[in-house]
Structure 1
Amino acid sequence: MSDTGISLPGAGGGFNYADLLDRLTINAAKPLTTLEAQQKSYTAKLSAFGTLQNVLSSFKSSATALSATGLFHKLQISTSGTDVLSASIGTGAVAGTWKVNVKALAAAQALATGTQASSNTSIGEGSVQIALGKLDANGNFVANTDKGGTLNISSPKNTMEDIRDAINKDSKLGVDATIVDNGSGKQLVLTSKESSESSIMKITVTDSGSGTGLSDMLNYDPEAAGASNMKQTVAAKNAEIEVNGITITRPNNNFSDAIPGITLNVTGIGASTVTVRGGNKSEATTAIQGFVTAFNKMQTEFDNLSSFDAAAEDPNNRTKAPLNGDSTLRNIRNQMRTGINGAVLGTIGISIDEKGVMKIDDKKLSDALDKDPAAVAKLFSGSDAEIADKSLDVKPGIANSLIATITDIIDKGMLKNAKAGVESSIKTLEKKHSAMEISIQAEVDRYKAQFSAMDVLMTKMNGTMNYLTQQFEALNSKN
């Protein structure tokens, strides 16, 4: 409302019109003060509903964490010897124990040339065919046609270093080449890029011209390894393990299907025990503790939002919380109490005392999770991992029931409607406030105009009176 202070043109008759106008303005504004108090009350109520929604959402989140059956059925894997193997768990794994004995690690074949005084000396010219394959039961080499290839070596690119570079440049060959200094000279070492007995090398050299330097250095026939110029320094080998006495081989050290749903990566020779246990007790316990904490926080907020200070001696100082006596809060509180089945929760060590505080008997909860995690999962989610037919009519469980109730309250039910009602009331009061301000200002302006006119009239009357007085005084003086 605009400033009600005025400046009257005079003070006819000595009357203080400005003071009277101020008092009339204050009296006219009293309904506005009442309206502003109502606005403040509704704004506080809307804020309280926002707080209520937040605490319900937090409790819903804690219930959501408990609604997934995987929380209780999550498998854990461990091994007794990490120096022998590591294990990871995937889809299809089941609880159990497996004795694993690592008999051999996979190895890639390595071949070495004879010692040369220098790696920069020209060796010879010709073609070098590198094949990768395996030896069959009769000792005959069977090439893998998808691997290998042929190099053409010619001057001046025909030193040991040139041959190394040419091999490494051609990724299709499936071979890595390095030069090793053994203290007496240089050796070219070829290593298959893949381990296993299916990646054995066969190197066939066809010399150009009369020289045999290239074939003297590089020829290798796995069917007659002893007569070959290159010597095998590492034999190609498959990885071999025994799982509960059953022998299993693989071309590398990764066994992804030896045990369903479990991947083994062998790193050493020896024995290890792989154990898979059902239920992640630690995560389940943490989720249940979070649920209890969120419930207690929600109850505390319910109390704060509906409190009444009845202990104050002066009745005028007895303050009420924004939702004191509010039916929406009362109904929501009742729905939350109904959703918490205290008798059922008591079977796993969760209880609610006379003050409404939820507590956990740690030992009883621990025993319940150890004894039957599926039963605990069913209590919260209403189903367990054993139920494959999703069309079965299974009760939703405490967590899922609370989630559905809170979702309905916030998105479609009473809280949404209550907030909408308060917001509508606030808008209505804002319109009334604006209209009342305009009305009060108009009334003040009307008083001001009336007082101004009266002041002018009184001034004129005073002037006339003074004139008449002067005339009478003049007549008296003549007499």
Structure 2
Amino acid sequence: MAISSIGVGSNLPLAELLDNLRTSEESKLTVITTRQDSVNARITAYGQLKNELTYMSTAAKTLSADAFDSMKTTVVGSDFTATATTGALAGDYRIKVNALATAQSLVMTGQASRTEAIGSGGKISFTIDGQSKELDLAATGTSLNDIVAAINGQENLGVRATILNNGSDTPYQLILTSTKTGSDAAVTNISVSGNTALDALMQFGSAGSTVTESAASNASLEINGVDISSQSNTVTNVLDGVTLVLKGTSETTNSLSVSGDAQGVKDAIKTFIDRYNDVLKKIKQVTAYDVESQTTSALTGDSLARKIQGRMSDILNNTSSAGAFSMLSQIGIRTDPSSGQLKIDDAVLNKAMLEKPADVQALFRGESGVAARAIDVADSFTDAKAGLLVTASEGASKQLKDLERQYTSAQARIDAQVEVYRKQFAAMDALVAQMNTTSSYLTQQLSLLGTSGS
């Protein structure tokens, strides 16, 4: 007799028993999954530490590179704004803006239609700063709309086009504007070959032109009494490392002061200290142990985390400097004994930067400076090839793959063992069912014998 479900024939809870056996066997997998969770948590923690060390290294590189060379500008007046790079020289300047740079504008005579073709085909030639550029209208059309689309479709042509409606009987006027300000960017000649009608409308720079020009002009300013002309309202290469953006003109003189950016240096130092503290906070977080609940964190007791913590203190110790300061504590940066994190005494730091800025710089910069040591420490753990955190993460990843193989193998063994149990239960179910059938038959026969004897 075929049995469709285990236990149906024998009326025994064999299916439930088989499920319990599977659950019991699969409990062996829990050990593997627990280890997988632990390794995954360790990999995540290694990645978090690597990120924090990288952030600290980036902040240190800013101190080591150009933070102490940063310059700031102070402008009194509204005729211009100014910015300075690390190459700027300190100084005070009197600046008067006499004229702003403007772009050339060319206005063609009005046309009755903006969609009707003006002649057929042709090539427009524009001459700007001695160089000619050509625009072929053979495939674009010659209406004002077509010309505007063709000109604006060429990014490097040097002019932009639009159409003005002046409200007259011939209202549509083509307007060309230089894409840059100043005389060098102005169009000096326009001619159209192969289209006489369009040439009559657009020719410029030769006798008989009907184009109205609003000429380009250069910016004019005075710096400490010296006349300066600029093609653009953004003036560079006049004061070393300083960019002026002209905004307006006036009869009065504005002032510009270029000086070292002490606040920028302080901000860079503070950022570095914050990133240093972030590393310590992350170490504490991933190595914490809760005594009450007796629970550990991802890297509790991990030797690599302890090594990072030890190396972090190396950044602060054994400091040597050619200047007056040999320790961070001398400029107001001290270690909090309760947390191990750094704290800044603004008053002490401000005094040091005001009185001995070069010595503060020497403490952070150079081969043995704080910044260089911080970068070295970070690199020893985060380097893509030899960094200890990278190596540890790779090792943990290999361990994780091995655990995955163990899990797959163990799962296969469990499935095979449960299948053995299932076959045994099916055989037993069939045997018991057969025995029950035989028992029922014998009971029936005995009952009949007893009845006939009576």
Q: Which amino acid aligns with 1:74?
A: S
Instruction: Quote the residue 2:68 is aligned against.
Output: 72
Question: Does the 8 A contact of 1:73 with 1:374 survive in 2?
Answer: no
Q: Distance in 1 between matches of 2:278 and 2:216?
A: 64
Please state if 1:349 is matched with 2:332. Answer: yes
Q: Which amino acid aligns with 2:279?
A: M
Please state if 1:478 is matched with 2:450. Answer: no
Deviation of 1:88 after TM superposition, in Å, equals 7.7
Q: Distance in 1 between matches of 2:406 and 2:421?
A: 22
Please state if 1:439 is matched with 2:413. Answer: yes
Please state if 1:297 is matched with 2:278. Answer: yes
**CA deviation string 1:180-228 (max 9, x = no partner):** xxxxxxxxxxx997999xxxxxxxxxxxxxxxxxxxxxxxxxxxxxxxx
Residues 365 and 25 of structure 1: CA distance in aligned 2, closer, same or farther (over 3 Å): same
Question: Does the 8 A contact of 1:56 with 1:298 survive in 2?
Answer: yes
Q: Distance in 2 between matches of 1:240 and 1:9?
A: 104
Q: Which amino acid aligns with 1:375?
A: D
Question: Does the 8 A contact of 1:56 with 1:406 survive in 2?
Answer: yes
Instruction: Quote the residue 1:7 is aligned against.
Output: 5
Instruction: Quote the residue 1:287 is aligned against.
Output: 268
Residues 170 and 73 of structure 1: CA distance in aligned 2, closer, same or farther (over 3 Å): farther
Question: Does the 8 A contact of 1:97 with 1:273 survive in 2?
Answer: yes
- SS, match of residue 295 in structure 2: coil
Q: Distance in 2 between matches of 1:471 and 1:274?
A: 122
Q: TM-score, normalised by structure 1?
A: 0.57
**Equivalent pairs: percent with the same residue?**
30
Instruction: Quote the residue 1:429 is aligned against.
Output: 403
Q: Distance in 2 between matches of 1:380 and 1:420?
A: 34
Question: Does the 8 A contact of 1:48 with 1:305 survive in 2?
Answer: yes
Instruction: Quote the residue 2:294 is aligned against.
Output: 318
Please state if 1:40 is matched with 2:37. Answer: yes
Alignment counterpart, residue 371 of structure 1, candidates 355, 362, 365: 355
Q: Which amino acid aligns with 1:308?
A: Y
Instruction: Quote the residue 2:189 is aligned against.
Output: none
Mind listing any 5+ residue stretches in structure 1 that lack a counterpart? 1-5, 107-167, 179-190, 197-238, 383-394
**CA deviation string 1:134-181 (max 9, x = no partner):** xxxxxxxxxxxxxxxxxxxxxxxxxxxxxxxxxx9479xxxx999xxx
Deviation of 1:309 after TM superposition, in Å, equals 0.7
Question: Does the 8 A contact of 1:72 with 1:377 survive in 2?
Answer: yes
Instruction: Quote the residue 1:126 is aligned against.
Output: none
Deviation of 1:256 after TM superposition, in Å, equals 9.6
- SS, match of residue 322 in structure 1: coil
Q: Distance in 1 between matches of 2:252 and 2:265?
A: 35
Q: TM-score, normalised by structure 2?
A: 0.60
Matches within 5 A, 1:18-97: 18-68=15-65, 70-76=66-72, 94-95=89-90
- SS, match of residue 29 in structure 1: helix
**CA deviation string 1:90-125 (max 9, x = no partner):** 897654668x799xx99xxxxxxxxxxxxxxxxxxx
Comparing 321-330 and 16-25, the one that deviates more = 16-25
**CA deviation string 1:239-285 (max 9, x = no partner):** 999x7xxxx865869999998888999x88899987654x3101001
Residues 295 and 26 of structure 1: CA distance in aligned 2, closer, same or farther (over 3 Å): same
Question: Does the 8 A contact of 2:70 with 2:85 survive in 1?
Answer: no
Deviation of 1:71 after TM superposition, in Å, equals 2.0
Q: Distance in 2 between matches of 1:297 and 1:61?
A: 13
Q: Distance in 2 between matches of 1:76 and 1:414?
A: 40
Instruction: Quote the residue 1:224 is aligned against.
Output: none
- SS, match of residue 362 in structure 2: helix
Q: Which amino acid aligns with 1:404?
A: D
Aligned length: 327
Matches within 5 A, 1:84-163: 94-95=89-90
Q: Which amino acid aligns with 2:313?
A: R
Question: Does the 8 A contact of 1:45 with 1:322 survive in 2?
Answer: yes
Question: Does the 8 A contact of 1:83 with 1:268 survive in 2?
Answer: no
Q: Which of the pair has more CA radius of gyration?
A: 1
Please state if 1:419 is matched with 2:393. Answer: yes
Q: Which amino acid aligns with 1:10?
A: V
Q: Which amino acid aligns with 2:415?
A: Q
Q: Distance in 1 between matches of 2:85 and 2:296?
A: 57
Instruction: Quote the residue 2:372 is aligned against.
Output: 400
Q: Distance in 2 between matches of 1:273 and 1:456?
A: 105
Deviation of 1:292 after TM superposition, in Å, equals 1.6
- SS, match of residue 323 in structure 1: coil
Q: Which amino acid aligns with 1:332?
A: I
Deviation of 1:64 after TM superposition, in Å, equals 2.0
Alignment counterpart, residue 315 of structure 2, candidates 329, 339, 347: 339
Residues 60 and 455 of structure 1: CA distance in aligned 2, closer, same or farther (over 3 Å): same
Residues 478 and 63 of structure 1: CA distance in aligned 2, closer, same or farther (over 3 Å): same
Matches within 5 A, 1:233-248: none
Q: Distance in 2 between matches of 1:76 and 1:19?
A: 79
Instruction: Quote the residue 2:13 is aligned against.
Output: 16
Q: Distance in 2 between matches of 1:303 and 1:456?
A: 63
Residues 475 and 405 of structure 1: CA distance in aligned 2, closer, same or farther (over 3 Å): same
Alignment counterpart, residue 308 of structure 1, candidates 289, 298, 302: 289
Matches within 5 A, 1:269-284: 276-277=258-259, 279-284=260-265
Deviation of 1:360 after TM superposition, in Å, equals 0.5
Deviation of 1:58 after TM superposition, in Å, equals 1.9
- SS, match of residue 343 in structure 2: strand
- SS, match of residue 296 in structure 2: coil
Q: Distance in 1 between matches of 2:69 and 2:240?
A: 17
Q: Distance in 2 between matches of 1:285 and 1:444?
A: 69
Question: Over aligned residue pairs, what C-alpha RMSD do you find?
Answer: 4.2
Q: Distance in 2 between matches of 1:346 and 1:38?
A: 44
Mind listing any 5+ residue stretches in structure 2 that lack a counterpart? 100-203, 320-325
Instruction: Quote the residue 1:234 is aligned against.
Output: none
Q: Distance in 1 between matches of 2:219 and 2:426?
A: 110
Alignment counterpart, residue 426 of structure 2, candidates 428, 434, 452: 452
Q: Distance in 2 between matches of 1:256 and 1:298?
A: 42
- SS, match of residue 351 in structure 1: strand
Deviation of 1:420 after TM superposition, in Å, equals 0.8
Q: Distance in 1 between matches of 2:439 and 2:262?
A: 105
Q: Distance in 2 between matches of 1:194 and 1:18?
A: 94
